[in-house]
Structure 1
Amino acid sequence: MSESPITPDARRRPDDASPGASTASRPKGEPRFPDGPRPDPAGSHFERRIRSFQPRRSRVTQGQSDALRRLWPKWGLDIDGQRPLDLAELFGADVPVVLEIGFGMGEATAQMAAEDPGTGILAVDVHTPGQGNLLNLAERGGLANIRVANGDAIILLREMLAPDSLSGLRVYFPDPWPKKRHHKRRLIQPEFLTLAASRLAPGAVLHCATDWEEYAEVMLEVLTAHPDFENTVPDGGYAPRPAFRPLTRFEGQGLDKGHVVNDLLFRRVPHSAP
């Protein structure tokens, strides 16, 4: 997920995925979805940094392919870093917008959008089957408050979003990069938090969730130490899972196996004028 981390729900095929779907041949060099998400939308315009996500190549079902072809021009956008993004134009004037980085197959995103239709959800990922699946879910549910973004969320935050423009930020089950030599690829680090804080409106909440306990401890440490955020839990520590974050099937299976899922909800601190 561009700066979209890989969510656990993205690691498994949805129940209706058929192994032979979307295998029609096309001329060599012709893009799979001419009007759909591009493989590398930012191209060489920006420096190549360490990425916190790992693009995955997996089969796109016929339903996902159809959704990408029909709905991407309407509800999708590429993160090219070449222009500012007008959230009012995307979602409507005065609509609060939450950025979700890494949505997997999109089931939880669609459920949250359905339960809170007055909030726009800008959902970022690089997983093509997940993009198609979320577009499909949005159409089937009549969810006009979802937009699907393809590419690196860091470029989106840094180059395309205005200061104080977001009403919230969600990072659910990011790739934990468990090997020590890969810890530098983890998304939740001080530099990222500084960038995120600059795009969050004062009082907006950054909500993280992970089933990797060691990563949860690191998240809690760096968030607690960051001057732009304060814990919404009065005594510090992890928060109970809020009712608005759906319990996914993958998460439920992990809980049945004894995995511990930790939620962290930190508020963007309003700074006093100098």
Structure 2
Amino acid sequence: MNDQPHDNASSTTGPDGPDAPLHRRGIKSYVLRAGRMTQAQTRGLEEIWPRLGLTLAEGRQDLDALFGRQAPRVVEIGFGMGASLIEQAESYPETDFIGIEVHAPGVGKLLDEADKRRLTNIRIYREDALAVLEQCLPEGSLDTLQLFFPDPWPKKKHHKRRIVQPAFVELIRTRLKLGGKLHMATDWAAYAEWMAEVMDAAPGYVNTATSETAPYVPRPDFRPLTKFEARGERLGHGVWDLIYRRAD
């Protein structure tokens, strides 16, 4: 996963204060792990990246020019090995998808799959998500931002590493169109409660859940059921979806 925007610094200015760009605050919500690369993953990074990969150095994107059309735009932060994002891009060719992930094996695998399936509606950043949001994605440009199964950092002393924090959801709000949605999912009940608390206190959002299910919503059909999640369901584990709409 990616940087999270809150820390315990008392300063209000400087590189670690709340007035600084969020991605420079120093606390990471992800851990980079070394992993062996398969031949397909290496192919994705070496051969497909030049066509579908994006970098911070390219700066603010013109998304219509990037994809060569006007279309709904979905960003997914922390797509892991990419199975869910690939399935969505293939199922909804009329929608453009941007994935953000820092782990090389997942990026390589997704790129390889995108090429094999001849998908043209997907682009990938292998960068810190907050930096991408701040520097590369225009304000009011996204229809949906997806955050599926982020690291829950369950120990209390690590809660500051959770990506869902007030400053993070406010940054997302500025990138969503009016009416755009922030869709989160987690299999940790305590993190689901944390997400709901942060979102219910965040200005400019409305929960889309009905009174019967609030603050959560049933898993939408458009969110693919992962193998991990299906196994969890068979074992009786819970999964919680939260969808909030930008109201202003």
TM class by smaller structure:
0.7 to 0.9
CA distance in structure 1 between the partners assigned to 2:56 and 2:72 by the alignment: 20
TM-score, length-scaled by structure 1: 0.80
Deviation for aligned residue 1:161: 1.6
User: Which residue number corresponds to residue 167 of structure 1?
Assistant: 143
Deviation for aligned residue 1:203: 0.2
What RMSD over aligned residues (CA atoms) do the two structures have, in Å? 1.5
8 A Cα contact 2:56 2:135, kept in partner? no
User: Which residue number corresponds to residue 90 of structure 1?
Assistant: 66
1:64 maps onto 2:41 in alignment: yes
Matching of residues 66-215 of structure 1 within 5 Å: 66-80=43-57, 83-215=59-191
Matching of residues 19-38 of structure 1 within 5 Å: none
1:221 maps onto 2:197 in alignment: yes
1:51 maps onto 2:28 in alignment: yes
User: Which residue number corresponds to residue 19 of structure 2?
Assistant: none
User: Which residue number corresponds to residue 264 of structure 1?
Assistant: 242
What secondary structure, in the 3-state scheme, does the structure 2 residue paired with 1:188 have? coil
Deviation for aligned residue 1:84: 1.1
Deviation for aligned residue 1:150: 0.7
What secondary structure, in the 3-state scheme, does the structure 1 residue paired with 2:183 have? strand
User: Which residue number corresponds to residue 30 of structure 1?
Assistant: none
1:237 maps onto 2:212 in alignment: no
How many positions carry a matched residue from both structures?
Answer: 228
State the one-letter code of the partner of 2:52. Answer: W
User: Which residue number corresponds to residue 252 of structure 1?
Assistant: 230
Once the two structures are overlaid, the 10-residue window that deviates more, 256-265 or 169-178, is: 256-265
Deviation for aligned residue 1:234: 3.0
8 A Cα contact 2:133 2:172, kept in partner? yes
8 A Cα contact 1:79 1:150, kept in partner? no
8 A Cα contact 2:145 2:183, kept in partner? yes
Aligned identity (percent) is 46
What secondary structure, in the 3-state scheme, does the structure 1 residue paired with 2:203 have? coil
8 A Cα contact 1:79 1:152, kept in partner? no
State the one-letter code of the partner of 1:64. Answer: Q
Give deviations 1:165-215, integer Å, cap 9, x for gaps: 111100000000111111011011111011100010000011000001100
8 A Cα contact 2:3 2:27, kept in partner? no
8 A Cα contact 2:2 2:163, kept in partner? no
What secondary structure, in the 3-state scheme, does the structure 2 residue paired with 1:198 have? helix
CA distance in structure 1 between the partners assigned to 2:190 and 2:52 by the alignment: 36
State the one-letter code of the partner of 2:146. Answer: R
Unaligned 5+ residue runs, structure 2? 5-22
What secondary structure, in the 3-state scheme, does the structure 1 residue paired with 2:54 have? strand
State the one-letter code of the partner of 2:223. Answer: R
8 A Cα contact 1:3 1:101, kept in partner? no
Deviation for aligned residue 1:156: 0.8
8 A Cα contact 2:100 2:125, kept in partner? yes
Deviation for aligned residue 1:48: 4.7
Give deviations 1:133-159, integer Å, cap 9, x for gaps: 101111111211111111111011112
User: Which residue number corresponds to residue 18 of structure 2?
Assistant: none
What secondary structure, in the 3-state scheme, does the structure 2 residue paired with 1:263 have? strand
Give deviations 1:109-154, integer Å, cap 9, x for gaps: 1101111111111000011010011011111112111111111110
